Structure 1
Amino acid sequence: MDATQQVLAAADALVAAFASNDVDAYFGAFAPEASFIFHASPVRLMSRDAYRAEWDGWVADSDLRVLDCVSSNRAVQFVDGIALFMHDVNTTIATRDGEATLAERETIVFRQDESGRWLAWHEHLSPRAA
């Protein structure tokens, strides 16, 4: 499997864990030092633990659940050992207020750890224009 296929497989595993609410596998796809920028959050999250705390708050406050997540329009670029994975993502969520489908664009920066596993080191999510 070449590097592009490895990154796509890592992205597929991350998206599948997210889509199935496998929170441990989802957060396990990120390096501890990962950072996150979400358009719906007023702050940058500067670690996996900070994002996990934010996630736990969303679940506690609104009973957030992911019902589905579909990745499309995927691309991978490499720069000095870093992989930039870009895609469109449609996510259906449920909260106490009901269901909603979000149309977003996302960039995830992957880097191999010392074992050769591609881990997400940065995620940037923005709304997708209609």
Structure 2
Amino acid sequence: MTTPEPSAVAQAAAAIVDAFAATDTERYFAGFSPDATFVFHTEPQRLDDRAAYERIWQEWLSAGWRVVSCSSSDSLIQVFDGGAVFSHTVDTTVHTGDGEESYRERETIVFALDGDRLVAVHEHLSPFTEAS
């Protein structure tokens, strides 16, 4: 196996964040493996593949949802043989059918090497809480 370069992980993560920020469905989901799993604190259960997330995404879009802004900070990249873990703080503003909402979350994306390409195989979002 091969250990990816941290710069390649940063580029793969930035591509996902940038596509999300643009509400670019095709480009966003291209960063994820078809069998990627997703754990979102806003959803009642784990999404067991990309198709499950794509269905929810389409429901959001149909309701008038779109991303207004999304920025990443405080990132950490941990590489290992065959993949990497990317974690960061993400600040997002979305437009919903009822107006705009902003939130801060912590996100972890696990990447695996697929040939010479890094592909996301798991994403986990949790609410950001300030330390006491």
Give the TM-score range, shorter chain.
over 0.9
Is 1:128 matched up with 2:128?
yes
Following the alignment from structure 1 to structure 2, what is the Cα–Cα distance between the partners of residues 124 and 35? Answer: 9
Is the Cα contact below 8 Å between 2:107 and 2:125 reproduced in 1? yes
Aligned to 2:92: 91
Aligned to 1:4: 6
How do 1:1-130 and structure 2 match up within 5 A?
A: 3-60=5-62, 62-114=63-115, 116-130=116-130
Displacement of 1:112: 0.9
CA-to-aligned-CA distance 1:41-87 (integer Å, 9 cap, x gap): 00111111111001111222x31100110000000112332200000
Is the Cα contact below 8 Å between 2:35 and 2:121 reproduced in 1? yes
Following the alignment from structure 1 to structure 2, what is the Cα–Cα distance between the partners of residues 20 and 57? Answer: 17
Name the aligned partner's letter for residue 42 of structure 1. Answer: P
Following the alignment from structure 1 to structure 2, what is the Cα–Cα distance between the partners of residues 12 and 128? Answer: 20
Following the alignment from structure 1 to structure 2, what is the Cα–Cα distance between the partners of residues 40 and 68? Answer: 19
Consecutive unaligned residues of structure 1, counting only runs of 5 or more, are none
* Aligned residues: CA RMSD: 1.1
Aligned residues: 127
Query: TM-score normalized by structure 1?
Result: 0.93
